[in-house]
Amino acid sequence: MASTHTQPPKHGLFRVLSDRSVWKEFWLSVRRAHKDRRARRHLALLSLIAGLALLLVVIALAYLALLVGTGSIFFAPFVIPILWWIRRSAKKDFEPMSIAPQVGQLHSTAEHARKQALRSYFADLGLLYAVLVDRAGSERFLQEKELPPGVEVTSRRTHMEALRKAGVWDRMAAKDREAIMVPDGGWDWERINRYATGIEPLRLLRWILRIDFRLPTVGQQLSGDFSVAHEIVVDPQRLRRGDFIDEEAVRAGRDDARTTLLRCIAEAITRGYQVAENEETAAWAKRVSEDLQGNQDEDFLLGDKLVSEATREQLGWATALANIRTDFLSMALELLETGRAPDGPIASIFAEEDEAAPLSD
């Protein structure tokens, strides 16, 4: 089973166990355990984590029972503030006295400013994607459902207000702005489906900004969920709270996506869905596909199927998602390495598309 990327253990066992993707993969592993040793290892790891969490709960309850039994718990409201005051005073006493800022302090301040500027850029970009994806969900609803008389749709107005309040409206790419300005119900299916693929960059931004601390592999995130966009439109400040991801995690995510992309391309070339650039590439694709075909322990998973077992549609969709993830995380990694937000307007991947695929009115 392909690996998943998680933030270091500082997030805690309970946050791991409360993540929905963990349990989704747990049930997948249960179904595959009889034929996939990766699934068995995954179940063993989750069992260990759950056991540790249970042990911590038992220890905490036992300690609480001890405090209640001895009567010590009644002194806690007095002891805790005293301990905090002692620790704070000791720390203050040992702080070095300095009038002029040190070189290290100046560097740290400049580094912090760059990091905050970059974080702000990712937050603004996240809001843009949230609005575009939420609009795609609203337009799909309008295409599929007939609204009762007198009901007014306000998605367009709500989205424009959210972008203006965050200061993004005047700094976004013209093509993205034009898409949002189209009256509610004015998107056709081509545009709806195209902008719905923005779910992938959005969930990557949610991961980068630590709204979601875990990034499952491409094969475990083939389906999209419009709620990841709507909850940000409702509360845009979610993008500006919490930690910020490190370069190593983004690099690992990009490398994983690239590996998945190459595996899917190899399968597509072998099946004749794509044409190899040269004989060497064709030979490579054939070798990879033959080595992994039907290998339950080694081949990549797309949902609950191996790449070698996937349908043409599943393979094509996984390839598209892996390509989007690889490109987006490569861009994010470059920004993290340089420490500078890009110049120019805030733009989605749709604003950068070739004019050969214009937005319809």
169-173: long-range contacts (C-beta < 8 A, 24 or more apart)?
171/124, 171/345, 171/346, 172/128, 172/345, 172/346, 172/347, 173/345, 173/346, 173/347, 173/348, 173/351
The whole-number pLDDT of residue 361 equals 36
Question: Could you tell me the pTM of the whole model?
Answer: 0.73
pLDDT tens-digit series, residues 173-227: 999 999 999 999 999 999 999 999 999 999 999 999 999 988 999 999 898 899 9
Number of neighbours of residue 319 by Cβ within 10 angstroms? 23
> Of 9, 1, 52, nearest to 27 (Cα)?
1
> Of 139, 239, 256, 155, nearest to 190 (Cα)?
139
Range scoring the smallest mean pLDDT among 52-61, 97-106, 189-198, 280-289: 97-106
pLDDT tens-digit series, residues 146-174: 776 766 678 999 999 999 999 999 999 99
> Of 212, 237, 226, nearest to 162 (Cα)?
237
Q: Residue 304: pLDDT above 70?
A: yes
- 5-15 burial, b at 16+ Cβ within 10 Å, e below that, comes to bbbeeeeebee
Range scoring the smallest mean pLDDT among 90-94, 214-218, 246-250: 90-94
pLDDT tens-digit series, residues 131-151: 999 999 999 999 998 776 766
Range scoring the smallest mean pLDDT among 104-113, 244-253, 325-334: 104-113
Mean pLDDT of 50-73: 69
DSSP 306: E
